[in-house]
Copies of this chain bind each other. A is one copy, B any other.
Amino acid sequence: MAVYTHVSAEMMAQFLGDYDTGDLISFKGIAEGVENSNFLVETRGGSDGHRFILTLYEKRVDPGDLPFFMALLDHLAMRGCRVPRAIADRKGIQIRELAGRPACLIEFLEGISLSTPTPAQAEAAGAALADLHLAVADFGGSRPNSMGPAAWQDLASRCAGQWQQVDPALEHLVRAELAYLKANWPSDLPQSVIHADLFPDNVLMLGDRVSGLIDFYFSCTDARAYDLAITHSAWCFSTDGTKFEPALSAALLQGYRSRLTLTENERAALPILARGAALRFTLSRAYDWINTPADALVTRKDPMAFARRAAFYADPANALLFA
């Protein structure tokens, strides 16, 4: 949520000289996305649109993964999903370098990210997620889930002895959930490329219509129903995780099912997948919390907001909501 790398207007104008985008007329650093530097770029007179996001990839994104992400976005756009494609320069190259970092010039999409979605908006997001799953059926790429169950134990180990910095209750919850999930995690569910991070932040909307899905930098190959579970954990609670929102939950699931039928196995697995999703964000946030100075550029997100979701999903009484 900050601009980490300085890019001058002169550097940007020179960079754009390799594209059919016309002349630079505006250029602003924007506070958006994961830990990348993003700029809103406007041009005039080109043939390739006139507004773009320039992204410089900082530490969190492995440059080796960029070709996968860009191919995925091209595929999704070709299949009619509203996603931001990387623009190719005149030589056909999408992944360039600027200021010593991998850099992509990306389509700008209209739409606003909601903080408190309505049920109608949750339903549209569920449908858009299913459309994404349908659209990747014939996509050839794959990428392991670097934030999947195998990574959770490692993240937990790296927080060892420091849970108290976050909350006294966290160590026990993490240990119990890790043990349960390790013993019960399903392995026989339909897989595809998934978004894996479809928070309301990453869904652009115009009214009740989805105008864009963005921020695919966690996309990977995993169970489709796990993607639905991640999205459920991200959309169906108050931000701090203290309040479950049944109307949003029903609408999100309804939207997804309106496009894609869940198998019996998927439906049965959703409660445990949701526990896994909640633990995944609890752990990544706890790791960031412990390793980020309180006054750093990045706003730390409260791990307990997802620990509360994990506890909610672990309550057998709540498994019924996925039935």
- Give A53 Cβ to nearest chain B Cβ, in Å: 9
Residues 19-45 of A contacting B (Cβ, < 8 Å): 23-32, 40, 42
Q: How many chain-A residues does the 8 Å CB contact rule pick out? A: 33
**A246 interface residue (CB < 8 Å to B):** no
What is the bound-complex CA distance between A26 and B211, given in angstroms?
A: 11
For the complex, give the distance between the alpha carbons of A111 and B24 in Å: 8
* A40 and B30 contact, CB distance less than 8 A: yes
Report chain B residues within 8 Å CB of A31.
2-3, 28-31
Report the minimum CB–CB distance from A231 to chain B (whole Å): 19
Bound-state CA distance A309–B233 (Å) is 56
What residues on B are CB-neighbors of A113 within 8 Å?
9
- With a cutoff of 8 Å between Cβ atoms, the chain B residues found around residue A30 in the complex are 28-31, 40
**In the bound complex, do residue A112 and residue B9 qualify as a contact, i.e. CB atoms below 8 Å apart?**
yes
Complex interface: chain B residues within 8 A of A2 (CB): 2, 31, 297
Tell me how far the C-beta of A176 lies from the nearest C-beta in chain B, rounded to whole angstroms.
Answer: 33
Q: Are B42 and A110 in contact (CB under 8 A)?
A: yes
* Complex partner residue of A111 from B26, B29, B114, CB under 8 angstroms: B26
Contact B26 A29 (CB under 8 A): no
CB neighbours of A293 from chain B (8 A): 295
Given contacts A10-B115, A23-B207, A26-B112, 5 further A-B contacts (CB under 8 A): A8-B116, A10-B116, A293-B295, A295-B295, A295-B296
A residues near B (Cβ < 8 Å) are 1-3, 8-10, 12-13, 23-32, 40, 42, 110-116, 206-207, 293, 295-297
In the complex, the 8 A-B pairs of residues with the closest C-beta atoms, listed nearest first: A29-B31, A8-B115, A9-B112, A28-B30, A3-B31, A25-B110, A27-B112, A26-B110
